[in-house]
Every structure is written in structure tokens, then in C-alpha cells.
Homo-oligomer: A and B are copies of this chain.
Amino acid sequence: MAHHQSLQGTGLVALRSPPDQHASATDNAFLLKLRLLCGLDESDLAAIDLLCGERRQLRARVTAVQQGRPSDRVFVVLDGWVCSYRLLADGRRQITRLLVPGDVCNLEALHLPQSGSAIGTLTPCTLAAVSPQALRELAAARRPIADTLAWLAAVDLAGLVERNASLGRRSAREHVAHLLCELLVRLTLVGRAQGNGYAMPLTQEEIADLLGLTSVHVNRVVQALRRDGLIEYGGKELVITQWSALKAAAGFRADYLHLEGMDGSGADFSAAPWTFGAEGSRPADFATG
């Protein structure tokens, strides 16, 4: 695993772009996601867009927020991949969330004086740095926005719960497959996937730190998935060649991602690959024995 010697955030460039382009979905993956999943009206979206004016352009592999630091900004990923992670005293690293465009990195900064985890970039990326103060005030003023933030937090939590289950109870193969499934769904939502494939910029070491494994073992598992014809993966490009088989290998169900949205209306995924196949194979979760 990465015995991480936190790179300093020397690659930081702050700039302020005039938020003239009001709430355009294409330029801000976060707004895109909110539009798809939350029932916010245009004025709410515009108000949020306004708060996203402060942008930070970061190089790959720099830390944006250090573990234990007072968190004075809420970061939203507009482009690139980011992660939040926890470091143990001896350098062992656990990546706790993988954040792709449209995701909020540290919503908890809104209510906690300091973050227990660090935030680091995985690729070059641009983040919106939102003032917690301003966001709290906006939420206090507009109920739909408060609800949206609470919903985002709840979905974040659901993801954490799912990863807990994976870390505790899924085999390495299941876990890797699960990650790949999840990413396809999430990236598709924000238009970062093409069909059954997507750009996969993570190194195997990063995957290992995310899944609680070793990069060597990740490598072997990936090769097995390749050999079994479930995926094609090389040169930072991933294609899921057998979606339903991969899904089965992972025990993947998209429920915990809450794509149905806040109001249950949700985005239209009628043509999405993960809606295909034997969804009737409901897990025997609720067996009454």
C-alpha cells in the first residue's frame, strides 16, 4: 500500500471566474447532477452556481485539504478525479471516497470544525471552493437547498455504508468488480462514460488503497477479470465487456447510489446498461428463515 508522504499542495492556483454563464449544465457537473436528481428550480440552481465562483485548478496528486485541518472550504469537483482518505500513524492509507465530477468532497465541513480525513487529487482537476458560511446561509434561506444538502449528505453516507460492507465482507474479486460497476454508473450520470467504458485514471496502487488491498493483489485480480472476459482494461481505459457478468461477480446493485433522486423522479436511465438483465434476482436479503 502507499505509505503516503503527503505531497504538499504546491500546485495550487486560485482563480475567480465571473459566474456570468448562469447555471449552465454543461460547464458545471455539480449543477448537472443537481438538475438530474434534485427538484431544484432554476433560481436555486443559479444561487448555488453563484457560490461556486471560486475555482481551484490543481495538479494531479496534491493534497487539497490536510487531515485534521480546520476545513474552511467545501470543495466540489467540477472536473478530474479526487479522493478523500485517512492516514494511519504509520503511513498506511485508506481512501474513503472516490470523487468524480459532480461530487462534493467534504460536505461535512459545513458542520464540523475540522475534517478527520484529507482530500487529495488523483488527476489534474478543477474544484469549486465554496464558503461553508455562505452555503449555510443559503440553505437557511431556502428550504429546497437545505433539503438538497441533507440529501447529498445522506447519499454520501449510504455510499460509505456500502463500502464498509465491501471492505468487511466482499472478496477482493467482488470488491474490484463492484468498484468498476459503481464507477460506470456514476460516470454515466455526469456524462463521463461512453457506453460501457470510461477513462480510468487510477493506478493500481490507488485502487488498492481504496479497496483495502495491495497493489500486487489488485493487479492479479484485474488480470483475472480480464482473462475471464468481463473487462478490457489497459492504458487508463476501461471497457466493461460483460456487464451482467461483472455485476454478478460483484453482487452489484445500484440502489445505494440513489439515482432515483431526491423526489423519486430521477434521471432517465431507461437505456442504461445497468437497468438490463435479471434484476429479478433480488438478493435474499429479507429471508424470514
Contact = CB atoms under 8 A, between A and B. Distances in A.
Interface string A125-161: 0000000000000001001001100110111111011
Interface residues of A, number: 67
A7 B118 CA distance: 40
Contacts of A88: 165, 169-170, 251, 283
A21 interface: no
B116 A287 contact: no
Contacts of A177: none
A257 B73 CA distance: 21
Contacts of A110: 150, 154
A69 to B, nearest CB: 8
Interface stretch (A29-37, A89-97, A190-198): A89-97
A84 B111 CA distance: 24
A67 interface: yes
A164 B94 contact: yes
Interface string A211-228: 110000000000000000
Contact of A161 (B6, B90, B117): B117
Contacts of A170: 88
Contacts of A262: 111
A201 interface: no
Interface in A75-124: 84, 86-94, 96, 108, 110-113, 116-118
B164 A86 contact: yes
Contacts of A165: 86, 88, 94, 96
A132 to B, nearest CB: 11
Which of the listed residues A8, A68, A111, A163 has the most CB atoms from chain B within 10 Å of its own CB? A111
A158 B140 CA distance: 23
A288 interface: yes
A111 B158 contact: no
A284 interface: yes
